Chain A
Amino acid sequence: MDVKEIIARRVAQEVREGMLVNLGIGLPSMVASFVPDDMHVFFQAENGVIGLGSRPPEGMEDRDLTDAGGGFVTAVPGAASIDSAMSFGLIRGGHLDMTVLGGLQVDEKGYLANWMVPGKMVPGMGGAMDLVTGAKRVIVAMVHTQKGKSKIVPECTLPLTADRRVSLIVTEMAVIEPTDDGLVLRERGPGVSVEDVQGATEAALVVHGEVPEMALG
């Protein structure tokens, strides 16, 4: 299984019936395809739709219905179109049950950096700062290492996205939960040992007893 699929499948297990969920662009947007069809969930795109649906058939796209990455989408029955003040009111006001975002770094405090690399890449924060500040659960979905370097670090060296501890970090190697006691290793990736995870992780990991392997079904 491709690393991104491992991550998307595992994150999809965090989605629960009845949730309002925002998926970031790129890898996080893959999560939707692994949520069971019979589970009633609304996906929000912060550009202004609750009830985001899959890509329309070729030739059926509506130029006024896109996701936050600008890609053509559909809307599911029960969908609502909203303006940006309502959209971010939902996000900042604690009405969003879960957000899934990509990450550049996450540190031992559970702080996320995902919006700029000074001097190299300054795309802007878009909606990320509001999402991390306001969502009930914040899940970081990212590959474990970048060019061999751990993205889970003792302390973020890149500018932070928010002063809030994220809820869960999901990579192809591990599921990690930031807690008061530090980063707790909850699960191992397929075919990966605890030692493998520790070897690929610059930050200290807390290991309690047996760490199960992700059950990806």
Chain B
Amino acid sequence: MKQRALKPEEAAELIPEGAVLLIGGFMGVGSPHRLIDAIAARGVGGLTVVANDTCRPGQGIGKLVDAGLVAKAIVSHIGLNPEAQRRMIAGEMEIELVPQGTLVERIRAGGVGLGGVLTHTGVGTLVAEGKQIIEIDGRKYLLEKPIRGDFALIDARQADYVGNLEYTLTAHNFNPIMALAADTVIAEPHHIMPVGVISPDAVKTPGVLVDYLLERAQ
């Protein structure tokens, strides 16, 4: 089945106020920048953003923060974004800090039908507050709940016409995991190639998971 290619502004229009967005990227590397720009330009807010970090002001996810569109961010790091810290302290944006390895597994759990993850990470720290502790064979684990999104916004090196995705280098990060964990998956590939160009062995995200591709940059 062929994919429908959307213009960035058409993709942004799919996203309603208050949506939960899973956004790939690590400090902007592997983030879907054209999609982010279109969402920032449209200005529909109240969003919950689930991502590794809030990037920097004026860059990647930082643009959504700057525009005041993020009501809540579930991230592992905001240290390089003073604007995110300022908004958190001023009470303008809620921040849930999650250890990076726990964050990716919570998203994975949401995507693969698991009821949660048991991890020792966070035991004996502030992260454990309010969470159920389960002891297995003498070791304590936190029960960390799954995360799902209304939309996953994915950056990929290339897609083919059926939506199979291949990633590159450190731009993989959260992208292939998030592609499983949202009701609607929009991928922004750098190249869109005929079917067959991506070897089946190189496909990290099968096209059946992808709802829309962003059309090529003009």
Binding site for B on A (CB under 8 A): 45-49, 62-66, 68-70, 75, 81-85, 87-89, 91-92, 122-130, 133-134, 159-163
**Contacts A66-B27, A159-B126, A163-B124; A129 near B99 (Cβ below 8 A):** yes
- Shortest A126–chain B CB gap in Å is 4
15 A-B residue pairings within 8 Å (CB atoms): A47-B173, A64-B29, A83-B173, A83-B177, A84-B100, A84-B101, A85-B104, A88-B101, A91-B101, A129-B99, A130-B99, A130-B100, A133-B123, A160-B125, A162-B122
**CB-defined interface of B114-139 with A at 8 Å, one 1/0 digit per residue?**
00000111111111000000000000
- Please determine whether B80 and A70 come into contact, CB atoms closer than 8 angstroms: yes
- Closest approach, in angstroms, between the C-beta of A117 and any C-beta of chain B? 12
Cβ contact within 8 Å between A122 and B88 = yes
**Chain A: minimal CB distance from B159 (Å):** 16
| Contact A162/B124 with A47-B173, A48-B172 known, Cβ cut-off 8 Å | yes
In the complex, the 5 A-B pairs of residues with the closest C-beta atoms, listed nearest first:
A123-B79, A163-B124, A88-B101, A130-B101, A70-B27
Assuming the A-B contacts A70-B28, A92-B101, are A83 and B125 also in contact, with contact meaning beta carbons closer than 8 angstroms in the complex?
A: no
Q: Interface on B for A, CB 8 Å cutoff?
A: 26-30, 52-53, 75-80, 85, 88, 97, 99-102, 104-105, 108, 119-127, 157, 167-177, 204
Docked-complex contact B121 and A64, CB < 8 angstroms: no
Minimum C-beta distance from A215 to chain B (A): 35
Q: Is the CB of A83 within 8 A of B175?
A: yes
Q: Give the docked Cα–Cα distance between A28 and B170 (Å).
A: 20
C-alpha gap A130/B177 in the complex (Å): 18
Separation of A183 and B72 alpha carbons in the complex (Å): 42
**Choice from A70, A87, A124 contacting B78 with Cβ under 8 Å:** A124
Distance in Å from the Cβ of B184 to the closest Cβ of chain A?
21
Residues on A with C-beta less than 8 A from B170 are: 45, 47-49, 64-66, 81
Secondary structure class of chain A's binding surface, majority of residues: loop
In the bound complex, how far is the Cα of B122 from the Cα of A184, in angstroms?
27
15 further A-B contacts with Cβ under 8 Å, apart from A83-B172, A125-B100, are: A47-B170, A49-B169, A63-B29, A64-B170, A68-B26, A81-B170, A81-B172, A83-B175, A84-B26, A84-B100, A92-B101, A123-B79, A123-B80, A159-B126, A160-B124
Other-chain residue from A68, A70, A75 in contact with B169 (beta carbon distance below 8 A): A75
From A81, A82, A129, A159, residue with most partner B Cβ within 10 Å: A129
**Which residues of the other chain, A, contact B100 by a CB distance below 8 angstroms?**
46, 84, 88, 125-127, 130
- Contact: B27 with A84, CB < 8 Å? no
CA A63 – CA B122 in complex, angstroms?
Answer: 32
A69 contacts across to B, CB distance below 8 A: 27
- Least CB distance, A162 to chain B, in whole angstroms: 7
Give min CB distance, B45 to chain A, whole Å: 22
- State whether A129 and B78 are in contact (beta carbons under 8 Å apart), knowing that A47-B173, A83-B172 are contacts in the complex: no
Nearest-neighbour CB distance to chain A for B156, whole angstroms, equals 11
A160 to B127, CA, bound (A): 10
Residues of B within 8 A of A92 (CB): 101, 119-121
- Which interface residue of A48, A84, A160 has the most chain B CB atoms within 10 A? A84
Contact yes or no, B101 A163, CB < 8 A? no
Determine whether the beta carbon of A88 is less than 8 Å from that of B105: yes
A85 lies within 8 A of B28 (CB): no
Beta-carbon contact of B121 and A134 below 8 Å: yes
Cα–Cα, bound, A81→B176 (Å): 13
**How far is the CB of A110 from the nearest CB of chain B, in Å?**
13
Tell me which of B97, B127, B170 has the highest count of chain A C-beta atoms within 10 A of its own C-beta. Answer: B170
Residues on A with C-beta less than 8 A from B78 are 122-124
Q: A65-B169, A92-B119, A126-B76 are in contact. Are A84 and B104 (CB under 8 A)?
A: yes
